[in-house]
Chains A and B, each alone.
Chain A
Amino acid sequence: MLLGRIQVPPSVQRGEVFEVRVIVQHPMETGFRRDYDGKLIPLHIVDRLACRYGAREVFRVELGSGIAANPYFVFPVVATDSGEMVVEWSDDRGEKGRVSAMVNVA
């Protein structure tokens, strides 16, 4: 399992646009770097990350080596019902990660 963190506001008003912040631990190896012996370090990237709020996918990103190591995203979401916000991601080696937070809608 890959490590990640998610942050949502402690509580939001219905209809309010709030921000979700996500950070994932991943080297996002470009495939162009060389190790101390001169050997190329192979490409290794998170290529997909998506966020589900209740039943709906509210955010998705296809990414590549142009995103910095330990990918970080901030995206807005309209508050509807209280529920779980689940972020899942996968990398080019099939490794997956998942992190979630409860959204409390007043």
Chain B
Amino acid sequence: MKRRAFLRISTISLAASAIGARAQEVQDITPLVQAITGGAKAEEGGIEIGLPPIAENGHSVPLTVKAASPMTESDHVREIHVIAERNPRPAVATFHLGPWSGRAQVSTRMRLAGTQKVTVVAVLSGDRFRIARKEVVVESAACLDEGSL
């Protein structure tokens, strides 16, 4: 129950800091991770975070997450959480998979508000957790383009 409400909790708790200007500071995402694991320890590794080391544009950065898992009934990845520590809303997305997925893998395009670490927490069957991080350098546009529309 706690974990399913993760995205809503984090949105509410960070709304205060998100109101107004975009968050430029790196935030402490420990509370978000704890909300996912319920305080339990997450094992390091076992997750491959596919992100370009340098993202030319923070508006759309391709992300692929692969977690090593047999994806059987008794041993599979249930959830994949993506957290961006410098985004004004660090909770990016929660993906739900299961043995019917065959592979613990998802791809999407995310936004990155500046150079930062992206953290992925995987929730496995049997209340096990894994965590991994990847640093992405995010570049800015050379020419200002506001107001062209």
Interface residues of A (CB under 8 A from B): 17, 30, 32, 36, 53, 56-69, 71-78, 80
Contacts and interface: CB of A to CB of B under 8 A. Distances in A.
A77 B100 contact: yes
A17 B102 contact: yes
Contacts of B94: 61-63
B41 interface: no
Contacts of B97: 59, 75
Interface residues of B, number: 37
Given A36-B149, A71-B108, A74-B108, A66 B96 contact: no
B149 to A, nearest CB: 7
Interface string B90-101: 111111111111
A30 B19 CA distance: 11
Interface stretch (B28-36, B81-89, B119-127, B130-138): B81-89
Contact of A61 (B21, B60, B96): B96
For the complex of A and B, list the 7 residue pairs with the smallest distance between their C-beta atoms, beginning with the closest.
A17-B102, A66-B92, A74-B107, A68-B60, A68-B109, A78-B102, A60-B96
A77 B60 contact: no
B111 A75 contact: no
Interface of B: 7, 11, 21-22, 59-61, 64, 82, 84, 87-103, 105-111, 146-147, 149
Contacts of B82: 66
Nearest to A31: B18
B-side interface mostly: mixed
B106 A32 contact: no
B147 A64 contact: no
Contact of A62 (B60, B88, B93, B102): B93
A-side interface mostly: strand
A42 B15 CA distance: 14
A69 B59 contact: yes
Given A32-B22, A59-B95, 20 more contacts: A56-B100, A58-B100, A58-B101, A61-B94, A61-B106, A62-B94, A64-B7, A64-B11, A64-B89, A64-B92, A64-B93, A66-B89, A66-B111, A67-B109, A68-B59, A69-B60, A74-B108, A75-B107, A77-B101, A78-B100
Contacts of A78: 99-102
Contacts of B110: 66-68
